[in-house]
Amino acid sequence: MKKIIALLLALTIVISMVPAAAAYDNSKLEQAVKAAATAVKADDPTLGCEWFLVADSTWQICGIDDNYRKTYYDNIVALMRENEGGLGVNRFTEYERVMIALTALGYDASNIEGYDLIVRLADYDVVKKQGINSIIFALIALDGGLYDMPVDPNAANPNSREKMVDNILSRELAGGGFALYGDVADVDITAMAIQALSKYMSREDVKVAVERAIAELSRQQQADGSFASLSGKADEGTAESTAQVILALTTIGMSVEDARFVKDVSVMDALLSFQLPDGSFKHLAGDDEGSYAATVQSMHAICAAVRAAEQGKAAYYFPVTKAPAEEEPPVEEPPVEEEPPVEEEPPVEEEPPVEKEPPVEEEPPVEEEPPVEEEPPVEEEPPVEEEPPAEEEPPVEEEPPVEEEPPAEEEPPITEEPTGTEEPEEKSFPIVAVVVVGCAVVIALVAILLYRKKRK
């Protein structure tokens, strides 16, 4: 019996450790987001609607379509044309917010109708001018779309991710956390700093700073699960601060039900408590009216939490796909050019075995000319006097016209070498033979005459 009780107790403990995100009924969160979207949706989206669009891009349940998203894009493009590539605003964070929104909508912020917004992050001095919050959102804008660090040859102080990360770390307070000013950690800035540093936790100094920041946020959580901002009362939570903490947790893979962020209620339940009947979210718990900023930030936090739980993707993660025109070049590498090897097939040229045709050498039938040997009928000419004509036979030497045949040998120049060396010997042989035979005949005739004289 004791073993059974122990087993049940262990099972209860294990179940209690299961991330509470799974315990949430997404239908409840979906209803909250849709109601909020209805309350603050602008008829003509333009500059200032960024967080609403980012929330929808994170979890597309806000009731808007591609035409609505395209309208925002067209309005931003028109604004940039009016301001020669700018937005007509002074705060740098507004540029960063637009970069994040365009990226979330699937546009390449480095090429908006020829205008490059991302290159504005190339000068470190320009980015840090507005303070730590500008540096935070510069990193979020770059890393959310996986953009390369922009380079501007006119930048007075070239920027880099490392410079911005080091700047944020240099502002860490002694007890952990970050602030715009002073030595007390601000919930909003601390939560946003975690969001910016989340991609660099492979660095030990970043990891340690984030862990201290998480501990500081947990310490500042109110009993009702909400978080207060330094700009308000220290003991009164705000929807915006609470939403930023949820976004911070989702970027580092923590559950919104992590034990460190559950007081009387969880941080998510605390955020939902700020929603009014009309769907909007109020800034403070005691407010009677909704706030646009509180509503869109709360929408974004809820959508990011659901996305992280269901897809394992962090907030702001919207990898940009470069314009196909830039990626097409590789397609232009027509493998057809590689086909030329087919041209190499001309091994047909190997047909030169025609060179083997040298059977032309068979032409030596010239050797058949020796029929000159038939001249022996000279023996029938008893008279020795006729021998002289034998001497006239040298014209036989004129027969060498056979040598004129070489031009025929020139036709297959390839065979000239073999025939040129052999024929000369063959053609000289019949001439010598004729001379020798002639001499022999003369000697024979002389011998016969002498013999006849002796007998007489």
Q: DSSP of 391-434, one letter per residue? A: HH-GGGGG-GGGGG-HHHHHSSGGGHHHHHHHHHHHHHHHHHHH
What pLDDT does residue 47 have? Answer: 97
Alpha-carbon distance of 252 to 194, in angstroms, equals 8
- 331 or 192, which is more confident: 192
Cβ atoms < 10 Å from Cβ of 437: 17
Asked if pLDDT for residue 328 goes beyond 80, the answer is no
Instruction: Give the model confidence (pLDDT) of 406-441 as tens digits.
Output: 443 444 444 344 443 444 344 444 565 666 777 787
Reduced to 3 states, what is the DSSP secondary structure of residue 171? coil
pLDDT digits (tens, 9 = 90+) for 378-405: 444 444 444 444 444 444 344 444 344 4
Instruction: Taking residues 203-208, report their average pLDDT.
Output: 98
84 pLDDT above the threshold of 50: yes
- pTM exceeds 0.85 for this model: no
C-alpha to C-alpha distance for 205 and 188, rounded to whole angstroms: 21
- pLDDT, residue 219, reads 97
Measured CA to CA, the distance from residue 84 to residue 95 in angstroms comes to: 14
More confident residue, 9 or 57: 57
Cβ atoms 133, 189 nearer than 8 A:
yes
By C-alpha distance, which of 418, 302, 424 is closest to 361?
A: 418
Band (456; pLDDT cuts 50, 70, 90): low
**Residue range 48-68: mean pLDDT, rounded:** 96
Please check the confidence at residue 40 and state whether its pLDDT lies above 80: yes
Concatenating the DSSP letter of every residue in 299-340 gives HHHHHHHHHHHHH-PPTT--PPPPPHHHH-GGGGS-HHHH-G
CA angle (44, 45, 50) in 5-degree steps = 165
- The pLDDT of residue 347 is above 90: no
Residues comprising the chain, all counted? 456
| Spatial separation of the C-alpha atoms in residues 115 and 80, rounded to whole Å | 8
pLDDT of 9 strictly over 50: no
Q: How far, in Å, CA of 407 to CA of 114, rounded? A: 76
